[in-house]
């Protein structure tokens, strides 16, 4: 019996091609194209604040110019220590447009872990949430960081939430603001610059340093090029049977953390490529997830098995309006068959396992 040279192809869903063509473009071309095709469509939804594709493309270009004005040059590492907020998306794509290399930083890092990553990456620029700044200040002198760009949750909240949030933060004893000294800059100030013209880039240029979890030793930075990230997006598109039907119309749940490469690729990069509205949740809490699905008519719900288990067990889930969900990708851990079946019974959606062979058809 002849054995196929590519036995995994037998497990592909009908209609999924054996290969995808990867064009020689930088990753930010996807955002530029969606801004051209769907300029007034919502790109980001954050706690009541909506940012259109036209606005997002402009903000990313303004941030890029801000970085250039601060001295960031092509190839420089820009560390991003933010939860899922509009600022994360703007900072990452702005970094790419300036020719820089994004460095994803886990907002839960301890000062020791943060110091290691900043030193290892050689990051001279850090974009950070004000709540997290004290951790960096503990190790500031032990890192190569020369510039710190600070933002707050309130920066992209709608009125009157933007006025009320600082009161809540102080009540919860969360740090606000940043030191008024050389090297520290307000995120909002960078967005006042004129939009930068994108720099020509080779698809093989480094785009992202994605650090491993460090469970088997010291965390290591995986080097991902523009071509790597573009290929990942197009592979997801090939597996999504709704991609043509929902182009420019879908709603992506942005609950998986973007600082993790799975959330960044599946929820953020693919969502922007497809012209979807991305509903940003700073914390992947199941109550907020169910409410977001109902409120925004989420069509794409990328997650991990523990999230789907929590969804299946959410009190009264059978009576909630979650039938808008069309497709889901599960990753990071094996997906139990019974969890997938139960999820599909509740939602009527297709749940695909993204990091292992898809489960056999029943």
Residue 80, domain CATH: 3.40.50.980
pLDDT of residue 4: 61
**DSSP annotation of 200:** P
Q: How many domains does the chain have?
A: 2
Whether residue 293 sits in one domain with residue 194: no
* Across 73-84, average pLDDT: 97
Structural tokens at position 112: 């020791």
258 found inside a domain:
yes
Question: Could you list the residue range(s) of the whole structural domain that residue 299 is in?
Answer: 230-353
257 found inside a domain:
yes
More confident residue, 127 or 339: 127
How far apart are alpha carbons 48 and 11 in whole angstroms? 41
47 found inside a domain:
no
Whether residue 83 sits in one domain with residue 194: yes
Q: Model confidence at 1, in pLDDT bands (50, 70, 90)?
A: very low
Whether residue 326 sits in one domain with residue 222: no
Q: What pTM was estimated for this model as a whole?
A: 0.91
Highest mean pLDDT among 123-137, 232-246, 299-313, 332-346: 123-137
Residue at a domain's end among 201, 227, 253: 227
**DSSP annotation of 303:** B
Percent of the chain with pLDDT over 90: 65
Whether residue 262 sits in one domain with residue 174: no
Whether residue 218 sits in one domain with residue 255: no
* Across 117-129, average pLDDT: 97
Q: Are strands 221-225 and 277-280 parallel, antiparallel or unpaired?
A: unpaired
Whether residue 249 sits in one domain with residue 192: no
How far apart are alpha carbons 24 and 49 in whole angstroms? 34
Q: Model confidence at 18, in pLDDT bands (50, 70, 90)?
A: confident
In this structure, the number of other CB atoms found within 10 A of the CB of residue 249 comes to: 14
32 found inside a domain:
no
Whether residue 253 sits in one domain with residue 183: no
* pLDDT over threshold 80, residue 191: yes
Structural tokens at position 139: 């190790």
Structural tokens at position 229: 């990230």
Tell the burial category of 16 from Cβ atoms under 10 Å away from its Cβ (0-12, 13-18, 19+): middle
18 found inside a domain:
no
Residue at a domain's end among 166, 194, 227: 227
Residue at a domain's end among 181, 199, 227: 227
More confident residue, 328 or 208: 208
* Across 173-188, average pLDDT: 83
359 found inside a domain:
no
Whether residue 328 sits in one domain with residue 221: no
CA distances (Å), 312 to each of 82, 306, 320, 323, 359, in order?
Answer: 29, 10, 11, 14, 19
Whether residue 272 sits in one domain with residue 208: no
15 found inside a domain:
no
Angle of helix 53-70 relative to helix 86-97, nearest 10 degrees? 60
Lowest-confidence range among 16-30, 160-174, 237-251, 318-332?
160-174
How far apart are alpha carbons 314 and 110 in whole angstroms? 32
Whether residue 296 sits in one domain with residue 261: yes
Q: Model confidence at 315, in pLDDT bands (50, 70, 90)?
A: very high
Whether residue 234 sits in one domain with residue 345: yes
* pLDDT over threshold 60, residue 358: no
17 found inside a domain:
no
Taking only the tens place, the pLDDT of each residue in 61-77 is: 999 999 999 999 999 99
Whether residue 166 sits in one domain with residue 222: yes
pLDDT of residue 2: 52
């Amino acid at each position: 019996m002849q054995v196929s040279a590519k036995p995994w192809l037998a497990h592909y869903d009908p209609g999924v091609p054996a290969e995808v063509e990867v064009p020689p473009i930088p990753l930010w071309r996807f955002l530029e194209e969606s801004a051209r095709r769907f300029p007034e469509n919502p790109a980001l939804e954050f706690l009541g604040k909506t940012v259109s594709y036209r606005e997002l493309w402009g903000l990313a270009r303004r941030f890029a110019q801000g970085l250039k004005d601060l001295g960031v040059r092509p190839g420089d590492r820009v560390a991003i220590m933010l939860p899922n907020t509009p600022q994360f998306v703007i900072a990452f794509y702005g970094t790419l447009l300036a020719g820089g290399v994004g460095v994803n930083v886990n907002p839960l890092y301890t000062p020791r872990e943060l110091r290691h990553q900043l030193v290892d990456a050689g990051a001279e620029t850090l974009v950070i949430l004000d709540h997290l700044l004290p951790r960096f200040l503990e190790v500031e002198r032990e890192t190569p960081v020369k510039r710190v760009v600070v933002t707050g949750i309130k920066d992209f909240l709608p009125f009157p939430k933007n006025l009320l949030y600082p009161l809540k933060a102080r009540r919860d004893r969360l740090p606000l603001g940043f030191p008024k000294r050389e090297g520290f800059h307000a995120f909002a100030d960078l967005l006042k610059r004129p939009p930068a013209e994108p720099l020509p880039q080779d698809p093989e240029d480094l785009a992202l340093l994605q650090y491993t979890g460090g469970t088997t030793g010291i965390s290591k930075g995986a080097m991902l090029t523009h071509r790597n990230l573009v290929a990942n997006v197009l592979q997801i598109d090939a597996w999504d049977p709704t991609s043509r039907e929902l182009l420019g119309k879908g709603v992506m749940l942005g609950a998986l953390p973007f600082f993790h490469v799975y959330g960044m690729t599946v929820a953020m990069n693919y969502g922007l490529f497809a012209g979807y509205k991305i509903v940003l949740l700073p914390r992947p809490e199941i109550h907020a997830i169910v409410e977001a699905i109902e409120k925004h008519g989420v069509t794409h719900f990328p997650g991990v098995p523990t999230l789907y288990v929590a969804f299946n067990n959410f009190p009264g889930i059978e009576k909630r309006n979650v039938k808008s969900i069309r497709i889901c990708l599960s990753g990071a851990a094996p997906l139990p068959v019974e969890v997938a079946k139960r999820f599909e019974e509740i939602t009527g959606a297709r749940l695909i396992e993204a990091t292992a062979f898809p489960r056999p058809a029943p």
